[in-house]
Amino acid sequence: MTDAARARELDAADPLAHLRARFLGVDDPSVVAYFDGNSLGRPLRATAQRMDAFVREQWGGRLIRGWTDEWLDWPLVLGDRLGAIALGAAPGQVVVADSTTVLLYKLIRAAVDAQPDRREIVVDTDNFPTDRYVVEGIAAERGRVVRWVETDPVAGITPAQVAEVVGPDTALLVFSHVAYRSAFVADAAEITRLAHDAGALVLWDLSHSVGSVPVSLDAWGADLAVGCSYKYLNGGPGAPAFGYVATRHLDRLRQPVQGWMGRADLFEMGPGYEAAPGVRAVLSGTPPILAMVPLGAGLDLLEEAGIAAVRTKSVLLTQHVVELADAWLAPLGFRVASPRDPERRGSHVTLCHPDARALNARLVDAGVIPDFRAPDGLRIGLSPLSTSFAEVHRGMELVREVASRG
């Protein structure tokens, strides 16, 4: 199961294998294995072409007319596409805008402010840092309390833990669908149900799942969600984020950053703010149009591949890494710190090792690019659309080689 022939077999059987050639940089001999597409996805060749065409023809050619021609609708049009292709969200609930942090702030504020009688915001200790910082800041400024759930760094947040903390004083729970360290996949449907039973709302951070693990926001009954587009959606460094507000909350929840792009009758420019109907009210400032161009190309590819096929390949990729880690790296002091059950594992595998920080630096020098996560984690990210099994095999061989040396 660990020889190169096995990787070749997996590539030969992979129905998405041909899509790897759509990406720029996959033929760069200096990068033996790119294991950090879960931090920054590779650019598509189509993105380079579209960006150039956008700059020359749309921006340079349509000039200001581009806004009323179509750009003003991009946040909602791309949001609807993203909802259909990757989020399980019906139209009219998703916008592309801002950064994940700013959208977290806006939507958490909206949820908390709408429930003045519920004092607690629940968040887990292993949630992504920016989620925790936003929650702490909002709790402090709005006179609320943060209720921490201590999560196991491998097992992640469970329905049992949620059942224990949620109650009549819970305003909102903020969790990641896929944990950024362990890749644990939370049982979002069950956790959402438990929260609703207690009258609380849930916000899901989809940053580490969108584009690699199927998401079913409407089916889960989710209230709010955010996520970034620069990982598995290949949106580019600092690409805009997305936000989801369930239809039933659109009239009720109000985010605090009142800007011209979220106002009813934008170009009236009149006195007084009145929120636009629907999910447009989540917008504040001028939408980052240029930065949305790569996301359009990323969504086209994801639609072509289909999220179910992407997930199937993702499971095979992470399984391959787990097998190689068990065979080659466990004897060298590595420990798999991601769930072994593929159902509960997202699209990366974290390998813990006491010297992970130094190893990471040496691996990068050797052309294998994982990601170090303090204190001792080496994240092996596996972007299903741009990663081959042969690449995984070569990269893991180098991890073994580099770790053996020292």
Contacting a copy of itself (CB under 8 A), which of 4, 290, 327, 358?
A: 290
Catalytically annotated residue among 181, 231, 373, 400: 231
Residue 287, marked binder: no
Q: Nearer to a copy of itself by C-beta: 97 or 201? A: 97
Interface with a copy of itself includes 227 (CB under 8 A)?
A: no
Residue 313 designated active-site: no
Residues of span 357-396 touching a copy of itself by CB under 8 A: 364, 369, 371, 373-374
Interface with a copy of itself includes 146 (CB under 8 A)?
A: no
Rounded to whole angstroms, the Cα distance separating 142 from 153 reads 30
Chain centroid to CA 185: how far? 12
User: Tokens 């402010």 label which residue?
Assistant: 113
264 half-sphere exposure, CB direction, 13 A CA radius: 8
Q: Nearer to a copy of itself by C-beta: 223 or 371? A: 371
Residues of span 1-30 touching a copy of itself by CB under 8 A: 23-25, 28
Q: Nearer to a copy of itself by C-beta: 115 or 247? A: 115
Residue 387, marked binder: no
Q: How many residues bind a copy of itself (CB under 8 A)?
A: 82
Contacting a copy of itself (CB under 8 A), which of 161, 170, 209, 284?
A: 284
Residue 231 designated active-site: yes
At 225, phi and psi to the nearest 5? -155, 155
Q: What are residue 379's DSSP bridge partners?
A: 350, 371
Residue 263 is classified by DSSP as B
Q: Nearer to a copy of itself by C-beta: 332 or 366? A: 366
CA end-to-end distance (rounded Å), the chain = 26
CB-neighbour burial class of residue 150 (10 A; exposed 0-12, middle 13-18, buried 19+): exposed
Rounded to whole angstroms, the Cα distance separating 120 from 146 reads 6
Residue 156 is classified by DSSP as B
Contacting a copy of itself (CB under 8 A), which of 85, 162, 253, 261?
A: 261
Q: Nearer to a copy of itself by C-beta: 310 or 363? A: 363
- Extract the tokens encoding 209: 């799942």
* C-alpha gyration radius of the chain: 22
Name the residue type at position 216: S
Contacting a copy of itself (CB under 8 A), which of 1, 5, 12, 64?
A: 64
Bond from prior residue into 287 cis (ω within 30 degrees of 0): no
Residue 205, marked binder: yes
Chain centroid to CA 396: how far? 24
Candidates 27, 12, 39; CA nearest to 371 is 39
Q: Segment contacting a copy of itself (CB under 8 A): 130-138, 243-251, 304-312, 398-406?
A: 130-138
Residue 267, marked binder: no
Interface with a copy of itself includes 353 (CB under 8 A)?
A: no
Residue 240, marked binder: no
Residues of span 65-124 touching a copy of itself by CB under 8 A: 65-67, 71, 98-102, 104-105, 113
Q: Nearer to a copy of itself by C-beta: 119 or 132? A: 132
Rounded to whole angstroms, the Cα distance separating 289 from 318 reads 34
Interface with a copy of itself includes 263 (CB under 8 A)?
A: yes
Catalytic residues: 128, 205, 230-231, 379
**Binding site listing for pyridoxal 5'-phosphate:** 100-101, 128-131, 205, 208, 230, 260, 286
